[in-house]
A and B are shown apart, each in its own frame.
Chain A
């Protein structure tokens, strides 16, 4: 299983499932992280604690802990 915390910067991927607990999952979904959505890690903080991802028309920042709950599939 590959999750969002593992993919390289600028590597494109598609979201498969979100394994977060209920309220966090809802939040991620309403920020646009839904199954099938294309995502890309565009920026990481110094110690890679926090990452910025781009999806569609918006971008979202999250911690690595949260990124681990998002299962993705690398785009070929």
Chain B
């Protein structure tokens, strides 16, 4: 089985990812915004003879390094290991797409042109003569549609065909004056038998005339250069004169533009003129001067409302399901330690994270919709003016929104920003956009401390508050650490497109699977670890001591209970006696009667509950003491002073620290810690109720604020380091986020205490 590696190249939003998906049925990430594909994603396909691998490169408008993700593609095309290029074009915007194609043709690689979006082109009355185009370019051009899967098989066959045959040089023809000069240079090279491996004379000539560095580096070393130079100078002089321009880049651009235009007139025919009227009409509303922003805010609000309200039902089912599972499994296990590990460790920990899967799915679906419909770039348009005031860029919106899903892809999405300072600044702020993993913490606390009817709004407020903090932080950083020039804002507004359901399904599905995998592996391990360090070492002394105290109390309770019984027995006697008592005693005995039943039971009831309370308090105290003796307790005690001013107990402190591993772990840690401490009053109280009982409102809000701001998980921080390529900035990020989180949580706590 032979392998073919294919580089998918094209401008943003032409459907590269969708095409890879259509060919291989894989789940690549697809988006409708420049730069959503930021990593080289790969998809695989097997035919009878070949294993074909597609590398879905970030879209780029030209081979000029404009932004970091375009650089990724260019580097790959120049140095990467691949067999042929599949250049994907948007048939509905052929001329502009051909500008990139001309640059690709100059690379002298095997290439196939996929004229994508054929379904849409046909609808818009655009007809491309692909056969004619193949002939003119001497490169196979195929009309395809990733949506309807039209011609996909032909495309695969052509790819294999081109791969098997030798490279046929493409015919990229320039203006006649330029062609004349190229011929002169090529003839000279031929006379002198000057060759460069893999390049024809004409291609070397093009490289020289376009002043390509790689070609110059080779030719310059050669003695021939002395003779060549005057010829080149002469040729350039002619070309400059002919084009009335003395900048080679401009000349190249004009040549390419002329070629693209010429080719279009040859192969393109438009039967009805209906240039993107639908998109313009939608935009007239969605980015309307006055309506645009309110609509945007409303859409965001609706997303968070849905996240909470729709997610609520399955969440309750999952929670009670796990509760049931814990109880039933618990009953079948005899070994106390094993039972505790499974029920309090694994089920409580993993269950508390899995519970939030429905919320996560809804949130990811929302983000996927933003990406695929084309609304994302409208939001960037709407927010640019506002963002600009805070030193950010409209394009920062994409990484920031991606940050609501997960910080890791968000850091990578920041590559669309050209300017390094803008990019770093955006990356610093991404942490303020609460990622999906923090959602469980918010849902838990919002559900515990607020009424269900407003919990969705609270959730929205938390996200908005985080975003506002981010903007303020951006402004502060902009005038201190990241002073510098603004990056220009130029961005394509892609057409609105209805994403196919399959596509959405793939995007949401792949992310949910990732979340589940994380719950099944990482969080499972973390839960077990937390359970272990919070259960061991066991301390028998405390257990015995409290056991004895409790027994003593129970004993007094029992004696009281017997007293009470005796009392009631006595009363019965008096009642009987009364019945038989003489009538003149009636008034007196009635008075006594009134007193007795009112006073006695009340007193005894009071005593009874107070003993029960005492026992419960002792039990709690016992658990506290035992927990404090464990490894986790020791760690908690060590960090307690740091968190005490924020109103956190040591359990919250520990949960915060464990959140560094992954934010979901915060909830599972709380789940394990409070489940362990709650063994006795196991009246199927949910974690939410336990939290509500154990944590004060002020502490809880301070906790939310802290979680909102402090360092994204370690994995994200590692990606930050990789993307920023700077240790200094990574350290700065850690210090900055921790300091901000602490200060803000402190303020929240203290202010709320004043009001309480």
Q: Are A63 and B384 in contact (CB under 8 A)?
A: yes
Q: Is residue A11 contacting chain B, with contact meaning CB distance below 8 A?
A: no
Q: Are B490 and A56 in contact (CB under 8 A)?
A: no
Q: Which of A20, A54, A61 contacts B489 (CB 8 A)?
A: A61
Q: Is residue B249 contacting chain A, with contact meaning CB distance below 8 A?
A: yes
Q: Are A31 and B490 in contact (CB under 8 A)?
A: yes
Q: Is residue A8 contacting chain B, with contact meaning CB distance below 8 A?
A: no
Q: Is residue B218 contacting chain A, with contact meaning CB distance below 8 A?
A: no
Interface size on B, residues (CB 8 A): 41
Residue of A nearest to B65 (CB): A23
Q: Which of B275, B284, B488 contacts A63 (CB 8 A)?
A: B488
- CB-CB contacts below 8 Å: B286-332 with A: 287-290, 292-293
User: How does the 8 Å CB contact mask read for B158-201 relative to A, with 1 for contact and 0 for none?
Assistant: 00000000000000000000000000000000000000000000
- What are the residues of chain A within 8 A of B385 when measuring CB–CB? 45-47, 49-50
Q: Are A66 and B280 in contact (CB under 8 A)?
A: no
Q: Is residue B129 contacting chain A, with contact meaning CB distance below 8 A?
A: no
Q: Which of A22, A43, A56 contacts B96 (CB 8 A)?
A: A56
Q: Which of A42, A44, A60 contacts B490 (CB 8 A)?
A: A60
Task: Please classify how large the interface on chain A is, using the bins under 10, 10 to 19, 20 to 34, 35 or more.
Answer: 20 to 34
Q: Are A46 and B493 in contact (CB under 8 A)?
A: no
User: How does the 8 Å CB contact mask read for A30-58 relative to B, with 1 for contact and 0 for none?
Assistant: 11101000000011111101101010111
Q: Which of B96, B290, B486 contacts A58 (CB 8 A)?
A: B96
Q: Are A57 and B275 in contact (CB under 8 A)?
A: yes
Residue of B nearest to A33 (CB): B490
- What are the residues of chain B within 8 A of A50 when measuring CB–CB? 381, 384-385, 394, 489
Q: Are B289 and A32 in contact (CB under 8 A)?
A: no
Q: Is residue A26 contacting chain B, with contact meaning CB distance below 8 A?
A: yes
Q: Are A46 and B61 in contact (CB under 8 A)?
A: no
Q: Which of B92, B93, B287 contacts A52 (CB 8 A)?
A: B287
Q: Are B96 and A57 in contact (CB under 8 A)?
A: yes
Q: Is residue A59 contacting chain B, with contact meaning CB distance below 8 A?
A: yes
Given the contacts A26-B66, A42-B280, A43-B283, A60 and B492 also touching, CB distance less than 8 Å: yes
Residue of A nearest to B253 (CB): A29
Given the contacts A27-B61, A42-B283, A58 and B492 also touching, CB distance less than 8 Å: yes
Q: Are B377 and A61 in contact (CB under 8 A)?
A: yes
Q: Are B388 and A52 in contact (CB under 8 A)?
A: no
Question: What's the nearest-Cβ distance from chain B to residue A36, in Å?
Answer: 9
Q: Is residue B219 contacting chain A, with contact meaning CB distance below 8 A?
A: no
Q: When chains A and B are docked, how far (Å) is the Cα of A27 from the Cα of B275?
A: 23
Q: When chains A and B are docked, how far (Å) is the Cα of A65 from the Cα of B488?
A: 8
Given the contacts A61-B377, A63-B488, A30 and B61 also touching, CB distance less than 8 Å: yes
The interface residues of chain A, by DSSP majority, are classed as mixed
Q: When chains A and B are docked, how far (Å) is the Cα of A30 from the Cα of B490?
A: 11
- What are the residues of chain B within 8 A of A63 when measuring CB–CB? 384, 388, 488-490
- What are the residues of chain A within 8 A of B289 when measuring CB–CB? 43-46
Given the contacts A30-B99, A56-B95, A45 and B381 also touching, CB distance less than 8 Å: yes
Given the contacts A30-B64, A54-B280, A66-B488, A61 and B381 also touching, CB distance less than 8 Å: yes
Question: What's the nearest-Cβ distance from chain A to residue B162, in Å?
Answer: 26
Q: Which of B275, B283, B292, B293 contacts A56 (CB 8 A)?
A: B275
Q: Which of B66, B92, B279, B284 contacts A27 (CB 8 A)?
A: B66
Residue of B nearest to A24 (CB): B488
Q: When chains A and B are docked, how far (Å) is the Cα of A65 from the Cα of B385?
A: 12
Q: Which of B93, B388, B418, B490 contacts A61 (CB 8 A)?
A: B490
Question: What's the nearest-Cβ distance from chain A to residue B573, in Å?
Answer: 88
Residue of B nearest to A55 (CB): B96
Q: Which of A20, A23, A32, A49 contacts B384 (CB 8 A)?
A: A49
Q: Is residue A15 contacting chain B, with contact meaning CB distance below 8 A?
A: no
Q: Are A62 and B489 in contact (CB under 8 A)?
A: yes
Q: When chains A and B are docked, how far (Å) is the Cα of A22 from the Cα of B249?
A: 9
Q: Is residue B276 contacting chain A, with contact meaning CB distance below 8 A?
A: yes
Q: Which of A23, A31, A45 contacts B492 (CB 8 A)?
A: A31
Q: Are B489 and A27 in contact (CB under 8 A)?
A: no
- What are the residues of chain A within 8 A of B64 when measuring CB–CB? 23, 26-27, 30
- What are the residues of chain B within 8 A of A59 when measuring CB–CB? 276, 279-280, 283, 492-493
- What are the residues of chain B within 8 A of A60 when measuring CB–CB? 490-493
Q: Is residue A74 contacting chain B, with contact meaning CB distance below 8 A?
A: no
Question: What's the nearest-Cβ distance from chain A to residue B319, in Å?
Answer: 45
Residue of B nearest to A29 (CB): B253
Q: When chains A and B are docked, how far (Å) is the Cα of A58 from the Cα of B95?
A: 11
Q: Is residue B560 contacting chain A, with contact meaning CB distance below 8 A?
A: no
- CB-CB contacts below 8 Å: B215-255 with A: 249, 253
- What are the residues of chain A within 8 A of B292 when measuring CB–CB? 45-46
Show 16 residue pairs from A and B whose CB-CB distance is below 8 angstroms, ordered by the A residue.
A26-B249, A29-B257, A31-B490, A32-B95, A34-B253, A45-B382, A46-B289, A46-B385, A54-B275, A54-B276, A57-B93, A57-B275, A61-B384, A61-B490, A62-B488, A63-B490
**Chain B residues within 8 Å of A, Cβ to Cβ:** 61-62, 64, 66, 92-93, 95-96, 99-100, 249, 253, 257, 275-276, 279-280, 283-284, 287-290, 292-293, 377, 380-382, 384-385, 388, 394, 418, 486, 488-493
Other than the known A45-B385, A46-B293, what 14 A-B pairs have Cβ atoms closer than 8 Å?
Answer: A22-B249, A24-B488, A29-B253, A30-B99, A31-B96, A45-B287, A49-B385, A50-B384, A50-B394, A52-B381, A57-B275, A57-B276, A60-B491, A60-B493
